Amino acid sequence: MGNDLPKLEELSQIDLTMPEAGWMDTPVILRKGMYCHAARAKDIEFLNMPNPRDWRVEDDDWKLPENWQDIILDGLRERLQKFRSLRIFMDTCVRCGACADKCHFFIGSGDPKNMPVLRAELLRSVYRHNFTRAGKIMGKMVGARDLTEKVLKEWWYYFFQCTECRRCSLFCPYGIDTAEITIIARELLNLLGLNIDWIASPVAKCHHIGNHIGMEPQAMKESIDFLCDDIEDITGVRIEPSFNRKGAEILFVTSSGDYYSEPGIFTCMGYLMLFHQLGLDYTWSTYAAEGGNFGYFTSHEVAKLLNAKIYAEAKRLGVKYILGGECGHMWRVLNQYMDTMNGPPDFLETPVSPVTGTRFDNAASTKAVHICEFTADLIKKDKLRFDPKRNDHINVTYHDSCNVARGMGMFEEPRHIINNACNNFHEMPEETIREQTFCCGSGAGLHAGEDMELRMRGGFARANAVRHVREKHGVNMLACICAIDRAAFPTLMEYWAPEVGVTGVHELLGNALIMDGEKERTQDIRGEDLPYLEPEEKGDKH
């Protein structure tokens, strides 16, 4: 963690009172620790996006093109014609305040401009000034203001303080979705080259190498082979996955976080073990090697650009359908965008589980099935055998990853898996799970190192609920189905709720799964000794 990160005591002081001065009279202060570094010229150039140059957030001069106001206003005008969502969300807000205290960034920071209503007003005020008659005439009186450089910087600061988690949208009586507003606002900022490094760099790598971390094909294969070595050590079963194999039935796509670093790799081991046990005819791809889509945090166009590779690869390999791993915004894109952006994929077939024969009609057009749907079906049809005792050292709670929760609605499938693979499962308070789940605070491309204070503040609401079940039920593991969660939570837990680990659902499954030909397991997937096998306990039982 950064050295500048404030102490726990300081961030624990939750203060949601409002300042004296009105928000329009409060100029933005870009506070270190609350924002990410600026995108670099080479990454922007790489995607042929506008205004590539190296710039620093701390500098007064952001090296904007001379006609930057026209660019933004023309861009806004264009999007008001193209997105009904934007127009409706600009026009219908009544400022009832229902959303105000729903945002994890507001709860954790107390900054009024983190109230979803005000985050939207940042853009809406400019909309009023330039696109409504009342705003043109009456100005500030009716909440309209001119687009100045100060306002632009305020946009940049606050639209990169939103993780597009949609919690506010759930509570809005008109369904106004700040995620949508943030997506479009970021799209506008990108017209001026105002992206952040943590997004622009993964996007460039994903575009050309195939995944966010820039892992080349041979390295990716090597990484997954290493995981297979570990699986062999633990289970005695040798797994030989295939890559870029034509004629496979299924193309498996997941976030690169799953084959790159802990604890994601343990989830990946769970996938590998499951597929091997089933004898699944599937392949990995080193070209469409990324399920996550940081393009989605840049613009719709870049989202489409990166997403297009998945169908292209499915077509090239001649698979029947796509199986997707545990990843949050990947599934927002796959569930609500992919088929529209790059489909319909007529060259694929409606997914059918080769093991159970279940036809996934809910994916009849997009031909992409979530692995939790796939696995829950296997369990329901009794195709897997478990020894949940192997998870007895784990006292787990489950975090509904926001995109899968509010952009898809997958709540029961992962719970069904956990309940079968584990004996100790405790839910967090109901106001903080399922559709009301709180974001990890690091989503939508904000999972950098330099904005650690922002991440800890944003993740407070989630961690606060974890702390609650840790104290009440002795929970020591937080399960999730999102690669950004898995990357962000360890730091968040260390800060707010020490002693709570982080896992994917398929890691839990991998622990409990009884594989054909396996040796007696003495270790879990992480290579840690299984406590229930320790001599004294063993003596008690036998």
Partner 1 sequence: MIGIAYALIAVIILILVPWVGVQGLGLTYLFGVIIPYAAMAIFFFGFLQRLVKWSRIPNPFKIPTTGGQQKSLNWIRQSKLDNPSSTSQVIGRVLSEVFLFRSLFRNLSPRVGTGGSGVTYASAKWLWVFAILFHYAMFTTLFRHLRFFTNPVPFPVRFVEGIDGWLEVGIPQVMVSGLVLLCAISLLLARRLVIPRLRYISLMNDFFPLFLLIAIATTGVLMRYIVGIDVPSVKQLIMGLVSFRPVMIDGIGQLFYIHIFLVSTLLAYFPFSKMMHSLGIFFSPTRALANNNRAVHHENPWNYPVKFHTYGAFEAEFRDKMTEAGIPLDDTLATSTGKE
Which residue, chain included where needed, has tokens 């996955």? Answer: 241
Which residue, chain included where needed, has tokens 């749907």? Answer: 373
Q: Give the Cα separation of 440 and 140 in Å (integer).
A: 36
Nearer to partner 1, 93 or 533 (CB): 93
Least Cβ distance, residue 281 to partner 1 (angstroms) = 15
Least Cβ distance, residue 289 to partner 1 (angstroms) = 10
Count, residues in the chain: 542
Q: Which two tokens stand for residue 434?
A: 């399922």
63 neighbors 53 (Cβ within 8 angstroms): yes
Nearer to partner 1, 213 or 394 (CB): 213
Nearer to partner 1, 25 or 59 (CB): 25
Which residue, chain included where needed, has tokens 């300081």? Answer: 10
Nearer to partner 1, 69 or 109 (CB): 109
Least Cβ distance, residue 458 to partner 1 (angstroms) = 14
Nearer to partner 1, 65 or 175 (CB): 175
371 neighbors 416 (Cβ within 8 angstroms): no
Nearer to partner 1, 43 or 377 (CB): 377
Which residue, chain included where needed, has tokens 């009342």? Answer: 134
Element (H, E) at 322: strand 321-324
Least Cβ distance, residue 488 to partner 1 (angstroms) = 19
Question: Which residues contact residue 90 at a Cβ distance below 8 angstroms, ignoring those fewer than 6 apart?
Answer: 80, 123, 124, 127, 131
DSSP label at residue 252: E
Nearer to partner 1, 21 or 29 (CB): 21
DSSP label at residue 425: B
What order do you get walking across the sheet with 501-504 strand by strand? Answer: 396-398, 477-480, 501-504
Least Cβ distance, residue 444 to partner 1 (angstroms) = 15
Q: Give the Cα separation of 409 and 373 in Å (integer).
A: 12
Least Cβ distance, residue 5 to partner 1 (angstroms) = 16
Least Cβ distance, residue 143 to partner 1 (angstroms) = 4
Least Cβ distance, residue 205 to partner 1 (angstroms) = 11
Q: Which two tokens stand for residue 304?
A: 């489409």
Nearer to partner 1, 36 or 126 (CB): 126
Which residue, chain included where needed, has tokens 């952001």? Answer: 62
Report helix, strand or coil for 166: coil
Which residue, chain included where needed, has tokens 């039982």? Answer: 541
